[in-house]
Amino acid sequence: MHRSRLAGFIIDCNTDDLDTAAEFWGAALGYPPKKLPAPEESNYVRLDTGGENLHIEVQKVDHPSRVHVDIESDDIEAEVRRLENLGARRVGRVRTWCVMEAPTGQRFCVVRVQNPGFDATAGRWED
């Protein structure tokens, strides 16, 4: 058995100015941008939603701009298999997460647990 749930929304921005993109989305959504500390996170800015259950990031990307969801799981591989059984396909791996594509063409990621509220709200799935 493993558990998973919606982790959050990632706003992919094909831009050379991530800070300006994050300022726009922060103002548009009412959540101030908050830089992530680690240098390897330089392509990401988190929006400070003030809560444990809503995660929004602005991400610098090389592909066309879009919004995608992240699904967090305590067992990434088991969740990927579950989603494949539902018709999704693996696109590739990035660091610790898996990029997937829904049968309808939307890309999304399966990531490790990100949010403190995970235990109380995650769905349980038989492997």
Q: What's the pLDDT tens digit per position in 29-58? A: 889 998 777 766 788 999 998 876 788 999
In a domain, 46, yes or no: yes
Phi, psi of 95 (to 5 degrees): 45, -110
- CATH number, residue 77: 3.10.180.10
119 Ramachandran zone, left/alpha/beta (phi>0; psi -120 to 50): alpha
| Pick from 4, 37, 32: nearest CA to 119 | 4
DSSP 65: P
Low-confidence ranges of the chain (pLDDT < 70): 39-40, 52
What is the model's pLDDT at position 52?
65
Instruction: List the domain range (segments joined by +) for residue 37.
Output: 2-121
What is the model's pLDDT at position 40?
66
Q: Within a 10 A sphere around the Cβ of 120, how many other Cβ atoms?
A: 9
What is the model's pLDDT at position 121?
77
Paired strand residues for 99: 92, 109
83 three-state secondary structure: helix
In a domain, 50, yes or no: yes
What is the model's pLDDT at position 71?
92
| Pick from 122, 123, 124, 125: nearest CA to 52 | 122
Look up the pTM and report it: 0.79
In a domain, 56, yes or no: yes
